Amino acid sequence: MSKTRIVFVHGMDSYGAAAWPAQHLLAGHYDCLFLKRTGFDAVAPVAATDFAADANIVIEALGHGGHVVAHAQGAVAAMMAAVQRPDLVRSLVLIEPLLPSLTAELPASAAYSQRVAELFARSAKLGDAEFLMEFNTLLAVTTAGAAEPVARRAARARLQLPSSAAPLLIIAGVPTLVLTGGWEPLYEEVAGYLESTGAKHVVLRSGHRPHDTAAGAAQIEQFIEATERSAVH
């Protein structure tokens, strides 16, 4: 019997398996695929955000179906994939989801989108290191273990479309867990909105990467296990 598939969709911190250090152990029980979104590669040229292409990457990785776990900007592709192919997505785990297009009229989301617009409006006047520092601060990107040169990371950051431009819809009927770190109003605002549509919301006081903690990793595994049990019954 084949293992249940879990597809992991990274944010900006890192990509591939490096973005999910605490989830590697799940590979013992599940068929885990750690994706690279458009333009995230150590060798290939950096590329502009392509929401539709990223959603297709998720859909193709799902094969005959499975669970999707996404962090920050990766939540955009995860949700778009679930809208397009709800038959393939058994559950969604959205960690600190950066989905301001769902909550554009709410205060924290509106303020965030304005700050992003202001940064990109003056990006041509900023050097790579300065731009990257402001970008990473704004998006809560950690630079720990970053192996790529500053110029490459800055070039990729400059090509990122704001998540507020993502064409998102709420997915009805897909079990969804939202994990947040309880530190940033933007993520709590988005999580609160998703909770109002039926998602389960768990706050772990752990910053922007709650999935790196033992408690966060356990929440993800337990939610997927519970979803699998429900599907059997």
Amino acid symbol at 10: H
CATH superfamily of 5-232: Alpha/Beta hydrolase fold, catalytic domain (3.40.50.1820)
- Record the pTM: 0.95
SS3 state of residue 30:
coil
**Pair type for strands 89-95 and 31-34:** unpaired
Per-residue DSSP letters for 167-226? ---PPTT--EEEEE-SS-HHHHHHHHHHHHTT-EEEE-SSTT-GGGSHHHHHHHHHHHHH
Domain segments of the chain as ranges: 5-232
Token pair 């750690």: residue: 34
Query: Of 23, 37, 17, 16, which Cα lies nearest the Cα of 81?
Result: 37
Strand partners, 92: 68, 176
Q: Count the Cβ atoms, other than its own, within 10 Å of residue 151.
A: 12
pLDDT digits (tens, 9 = 90+) for 11-42: 999 999 999 999 999 999 999 999 999 999 98
pLDDT digits (tens, 9 = 90+) for 101-145: 999 999 999 999 999 999 999 999 999 999 999 999 998 888 654
Strand partners, 32: 6
pLDDT digits (tens, 9 = 90+) for 39-52: 999 889 999 999 99
Q: Are 101 and 168 in contact (CB under 8 A)?
A: yes
Token pair 């039926």: residue: 198
